[in-house]
């Protein structure tokens, strides 16, 4: 069990009786995206049953990373394909497990006053 100062684990649950999650090798634990209805930019509701989502890459927040992960850190937003993710439920919350090679991009935070490309 690791303490809260470990950079590879974000405490998922505050209950001290439960174990912390520690990923192995190049695995990354990411929050699961909402599988329900979504809205287009114009405000049109798109039902969850639409098949076009199968090929669409999605964003998720990194919760925990394994010791061999070099391209993502906790609280980063990462872009990945849903076909490469394994769904898992931990303490009633939905997450996905990815290999580092399955991440297509990592979003960088905007810094005011600088130029550059942001995802």
pLDDT at 1 exceeding the cut of 90: no
Report whether 67 contacts 73 (CB < 8 A): no
Q: Residue 66: CB partners within 8 Å, gap ≥ 6?
A: 8, 23, 24, 25, 26, 27, 28, 100
Tokens 């939905």 map to which residue?
A: 94
Prediction pTM value: 0.64
The correct answer on CATH 2.30.33.40 for the domain covering 27-107 is yes
Digit-coded pLDDT (tens) for 43-98: 787 776 665 555 788 899 999 999 999 999 999 999 998 888 899 988 888 899 99
Per-residue confidence (pLDDT) for residue 30, from 0 to 100: 94
Domain ranges of the chain: 27-107
Quick one: pLDDT at residue 41? Answer: 77
Provide the residue count of the chain: 119
Given a contact cutoff of 8 angstroms between Cβ atoms, the answer to whether 60 and 32 are in contact is yes
Q: Measured at the alpha carbon of residue 114, what is the angle toward residues 104 and 79, in degrees to the nearest 5? A: 15
């Amino acid at each position: 069990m690791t303490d809260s100062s470990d950079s590879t684990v974000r405490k998922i649950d505050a209950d001290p009786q439960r174990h912390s999650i520690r990923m192995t090798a190049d695995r990354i634990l990411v929050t699961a995206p909402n599988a329900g209805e979504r809205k287009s930019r114009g405000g049109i509701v798109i039902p969850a049953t639409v098949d076009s989502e199968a090929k669409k890459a999605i964003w998720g927040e990194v919760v925990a990373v394994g010791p061999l992960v070099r391209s993502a850190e906790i609280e980063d937003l990462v872009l990945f394909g849903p076909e490469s993710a394994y769904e898992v439920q931990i303490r009633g919350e939905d997450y996905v497990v990815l290999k580092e090679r399955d991440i297509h991009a990592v979003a960088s935070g905007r810094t005011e006053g600088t130029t550059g490309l942001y995802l």
